[in-house]
Structure 1
Amino acid sequence: MEVKHCTKCEKLWQLTYSFSQTPKHALHSKQDEYALECLEQKTKCEEINGTKRYRTPLLRVKNAPVLKAPPEAVMPALRRMERQLARDLDHASLYDQEIQKLIDTGCVRKLTSDEVESSDET
C-alpha cells in the first residue's frame, strides 16, 4: 500500500536529512545535484506491516559501470559465511530470523533462475 504523504515520516526525514533544506545559494557538484534529484523523484513513503517507512533509491554515480560479478568471484565469501554459521548455531538462527524479516516485509525476495540469467547486474 503506497502512502503519498506521511507527516511524521516527513518531519523525521527533514530532521535527519537536512541537505534537502539547504539554502538556494549553496553550491552543489553535478553529482550532488543528481543525487538530490534522484532522492526527490524516487523516494516514497510506504506502509509496511503497519509501519510507515521511507523507500529510497540506492545512490550511484550517473552512468556508473554495470556491476556484474561472476559466481567464481563471490562463492568463496558465501562458503566462508556458511562455515561460520554452521559453527555458531545461535548466530545462524539470528541470521535466519533477520533474513526472514526482510522477506516478510518485502524488502528482499529470492530471484528465479530466469531473473538471474536476464539481469544486467549481479
Structure 2
Amino acid sequence: MWFALADIREGLRIARDNGFGNLEAETDSLAITHVLQKDFGNSLEADTLISDCKALIQAFHSFELKHVLREGNQCADFLANMGQNSQWGTTILAQPPDGLNPLLAHDANNVAFSRLL
C-alpha cells in the first residue's frame, strides 16, 4: 500500500505546484481511500505518507478521492503499467503515449470495460 501512497503524494505535489485549486483523484485501492478519509494507519512508513498526503490535500480549495475498480480507469492502469516497466522516475508527459489515445476516447465516451475473473 505504501507504494501507492507515495504515488498519490507525488501526484498531489505536482498538482499543488502547478496551481490546481480543485482536484479529483481516483484510486483502485479501497484501503487508501479509507485511510486518507479517516485518522488511522498501518505502519510507520504508511503513517508518514498518510500525514504527507493529508497535509498536501489541505492546499486545495476542494479535493475528492474516489475509489474505482481498475476496470473503471483503464487510462490510469495503462500509465501505471507503463511506469512499472520504465526507469524514468516521475515524468510529466506533454502528450499521451502511444496506446493511450483509444483508452482516453473510451473514457470520454463512458465505455465500460468488463472485469475478467
TM-score by length of 1: 0.24
Larger Rg, first or second structure (1 or 2): 1
Higher relative contact order structure (alpha carbons within 8 Å, sequence separation ≥ 6): 2
User: What TM-score does the superposition give when structure 2 sets the normalisation length?
Assistant: 0.25
